[in-house]
Amino acid sequence: MSTIYYWNEFKKDLNNSLKNGQRLFDAGAGDGHWRNNILVDIDYVSMDLGVGDSNVNYSHLHITGDLASVPQDDASFDTVICIQVLEHVPEPWNVLKEFARILKKDGFLFLTLPHSVPIHQEPYDFYRYTKYGVQYLFD
């Protein structure tokens, strides 16, 4: 099921889905600023390719690399967040397969995607998404 969120509602739903001690994977974390929006005590793991924006401090990442190949065990995360990242991935279907692999059976994926934003982080900006494109990727 897809839902259109405003950021405050998104943060509330994210925090309501988390429990102390759970593991969260921040996919495409950039500088890790989403960690500051999480209000419960979790095991936070961040990963990003670490390119695209010279203004971002990538030094706080736990893992630097391609989201299509996450060096984590199967079913090892309760939640994956991927906030405005898939437009920067040349093969997003492979990244979604990785998310399915690392998520626990009853885990949550919090995913946001751009529909209409200017080109940014050139040359690492590949896609814009409609609800039909998102549904196709998940099907």
**pLDDT tens digits, residue range 33-43?**
999 999 999 99
pTM of the model: 0.91
The residue ranges of DSSP E strands in 1-138, in sequence order, are: 23-27, 43-48, 63-64, 77-83, 103-112
Q: Which tokens hold the place of 85?
A: 């990242």
Q: Residues 6 or more apart from 60 whose CB is under 8 A from it?
A: 31, 32, 46
* pLDDT value, residue 6: 81
For the segment 56-104, what is each residue's pLDDT rounded down to a tens digit? 899 999 999 999 999 999 999 999 999 999 999 999 999 999 999 999 9
pLDDT > 60? residue 1: no
Strand residue runs (E) in the chain: 23-27, 43-48, 63-64, 77-83, 103-112
Residue 126 has pLDDT above 70, yes or no: yes
Average predicted confidence (pLDDT) for the chain: 93
Q: Assign domain 28-116+123-138 to its CATH architecture.
A: 3-Layer(aba) Sandwich (3.40)
Encode 79-90: b = buried (16+ Cβ within 10 Å), e = exposed: bbbbbebbbbbe
Q: How confident is the model at residue 123 (pLDDT cuts 50, 70, 90)?
A: very high
